[in-house]
Amino acid sequence: MDTTLQDPLVGQVLDARYRVDARIAVGGMATVYRALDTRLDRVLALKVMHPTLAADASFVERFIREAKSVARLAHPNVVQVFDQGTDGSYVYLAMEYVAGCTLRDVLRERGALQPRAALDILEPVLAALGAAHRAGFVHRDMKPENVLIGDDGRVKVADFGLVRSVDTVTNTTGTVLGTVSYLAPEQVEQGTADPRVDVYACGVVLYEMLTGGRPHQGETPAQILYQHLHADVPAPSAAVPGLPFELDALVATATARTPADRPHDAVALLAHVRQTRAALGPEQLDAVPPQALTAEHSNAEDRTSVIPRALTVPRPLTSEEGVRADALHRTSRLESPAPPAPARRTGRPRRGLVTVLAVVLLVLGAGAGVWYINSGQFTKVPPVLAKTEAQARERLRAAGLEVKQVKHAYSDTVKRGTVISTDPETGARIRSNDSVSLTLSDGPETVKVPTVRGYRLDKARSALREAGLEPGMVSRTFSEDFPKGFVVATDPAAGIERRAGSAIALTVSKGAPVDVPDVTGESLEEARSDLTDAGLRVRVAAEQVTSEFDRGQVARQTPGGGGQAAEGDTVTLTVSKGPEMVEVPDVTGDSVDQAKKALAGAGFKVEEDRGLLGLFGDTVKKQSVAGGDWAPKGSTITITIR
């Protein structure tokens, strides 16, 4: 749905092909729009990198890698990428449009899900990731925001922006990309990522679906990272009493802190999921979670970020690093100011990493880092899109924010009276007790159908577009009043109000009607002359047909004689190659009924000649064409009866 009216791309056409209709969502690196592929006339999603990042070769490379990677994954549960390109400062991916919502939307509205629903969502997610893993890719950013649930119930995995080839994943030396709540321990500690990091993230997502909350909580990302490294994901039944132990075991298997203890990829985890489902009864699968677990979700840690893995020696930031850190803070890219020392795995507690995280917190507390958000001074704009004004005000009030201004605008996609956009936008960092502007939908804009009667068709189409409407289906009719090619009428008629963008049907004149003469049976030359004199054009069909007419005569015409056509229309003539000749059966001496049946079966018409002597006879004494001779099929054979 639209989230802003001021977006400069809305209404534009990228690459002379993709018409941007509405903004759907905004991420740290890109904005997603609903668009129309004008070449193929299909709705799709257009993922456009923020222009400020398009100059960064690493971000552009990641974008292109996503397109190439997903193009290799022909799987029904993967959001497909159709095209990739650039238009000026815009770098974009053209992707499959999934009408529906994200898993995050479902969890935000409902909280904990029934086990059956959780497994119904997890299985297609794992099927999609399994296809990626078997193709040699790791997603690296699995979270509810990247699970799309269509209006038709289909589940699809989106946003392969951080995808990496399994063969190219190695230890990194400074940062790791991902979303804090879903990072596997080895991603945090070593920067490594193989299919098992996706398995871990799916285990966290399953825990969240079963309980309505994340397994690791903290006021800062550093606290959450610490728990990933030093605390097992708790059993879901600890938060939701009554959940079967099989689900606890499934979550524990997927989220084991040691990678070797997890299923080796999503295909293996999918097998575990199906075994777990088979072990549960209907009453366990359909158990309703307690309503107390359903809570408003905070999206403070939802963004994909660049996270420092380690700092060995604390030191003051240089001025250049301070500027870079401040810039990264504004884009939610979390980057380390100094390269780390190699991490070492021992059987003892990770004291070095504990010290490192403490140093990070100290640096961040000093104001030079990018994780720290003073909860007493700042908050985030809560999601109020598609809510009524009253609902939006209540949510903002609960977040400690006021409504500064309410504006109105037309929208084809957002219900009248509900929120189209906020300023600042959803998720934006804002000071507590600050104010937010709301833009409410007035529904679709309506315009009057302009008068285009008497216009040439091309000019009528232009006039409709200028009025904010679209030229629709064209039908044609005879008209004595308007020349050929000029508009006779519109549907709806001029002056009627319609929603902006609606299609208007056009009726166009074929010119004055012309009576089509019947030229069947005429020679080709005669037929041409008659049709030309009537103002019609002549086309002769390439193939000839057998008919009752002599060879060279017109066997049939389209349109037929006696009808009407427009002046200049074409009449197609089919020439006869003569009648089909059929051998005449000998019926002399047969009864009348036998003779008629034999002749009719051969394709002839039959007439009787009885005379005075044959009034009461029943035997054929003679036939007009002797038996064994040939005659045109369909011609008449006369039988004499005595």
Amino acid at the residue 288: V
The CA-to-CA distance between both ends of the chain, in Å, stands at 92
Length of the chain: 642
Considering the candidates 21, 141, 248, 302, report the single residue annotated as catalytic.
Answer: 141
Estimate to the nearest angstrom the gap between the alpha carbon of 116 and the chain centroid. Answer: 27
3-state secondary structure of 67: helix
Q: Which residue is listed with tokens 């008659």?
A: 530
User: What does the alpha-carbon distance between residue 505 and residue 503 come to, in Å, rounded to a whole number?
Assistant: 7
Estimate to the nearest angstrom the gap between the alpha carbon of 195 and the chain centroid. Answer: 27
User: What does the alpha-carbon distance between residue 152 and residue 148 come to, in Å, rounded to a whole number?
Assistant: 11
Both tokens assigned to 609:
């000649």
List all residues 6 or more positions away from 347 whose beta carbon is below 8 Å from its beta carbon: none
Give the C-alpha distances (Å, rounded to integers) separating 574 from 549, 581, 633: 11, 19, 19
User: What does the alpha-carbon distance between residue 263 and residue 272 come to, in Å, rounded to a whole number?
Assistant: 8
Amino acid at the residue 173: T
Q: At what angle do helices 115-134 and 195-211 cross, to 10 degrees?
A: 170
Q: Which residue is listed with tokens 């815009």?
A: 90
Give the chain's count of helices (H) and strands (E).
16, 33
Cβ-based neighbour number of residue 16 at 10 Å:
8
User: What does the alpha-carbon distance between residue 58 and residue 637 come to, in Å, rounded to a whole number?
Assistant: 91
Catalytic annotation present for 141: yes
Task: Please list the residues that pair with 486 across neighbouring strands.
Answer: 456
3-state secondary structure of 455: coil
Cα-flanking dihedrals φ and ψ of residue 251, to 5°? -65, -45
Both tokens assigned to 124:
């297609």
Task: Please list the residues that pair with 596 across neighbouring strands.
Answer: none
Q: Which residue is listed with tokens 């990933």?
A: 228
Give the C-alpha distances (Å, rounded to integers) separating 595 from 506, 603, 614, 622, 623: 61, 13, 15, 11, 10
Estimate to the nearest angstrom the gap between the alpha carbon of 615 and the chain centroid. Answer: 82
Both tokens assigned to 371:
């994780």
Cis before 424? omega within 30: yes
Pairing verdict, β 164-165 and 155-157: unpaired
User: What does the alpha-carbon distance between residue 413 and residue 464 come to, in Å, rounded to a whole number?
Assistant: 21
Contact 598/627 with Cβ under 8 angstroms?
no
Contact 410/441 with Cβ under 8 angstroms?
yes
CA dihedral 194, 197, 198, 200 (to 10 degrees): 150
Q: At what angle do helices 195-211 and 266-279 cross, to 10 degrees?
A: 30
Contact 220/362 with Cβ under 8 angstroms?
no
Any idea what the Cα angle at residue 10 is, between residues 5 and 16, rounded to 5°?
170
Task: Please list the residues that pair with 511 across neighbouring strands.
Answer: none
User: What does the alpha-carbon distance between residue 439 and residue 232 come to, in Å, rounded to a whole number?
Assistant: 44
Active site residues: 141
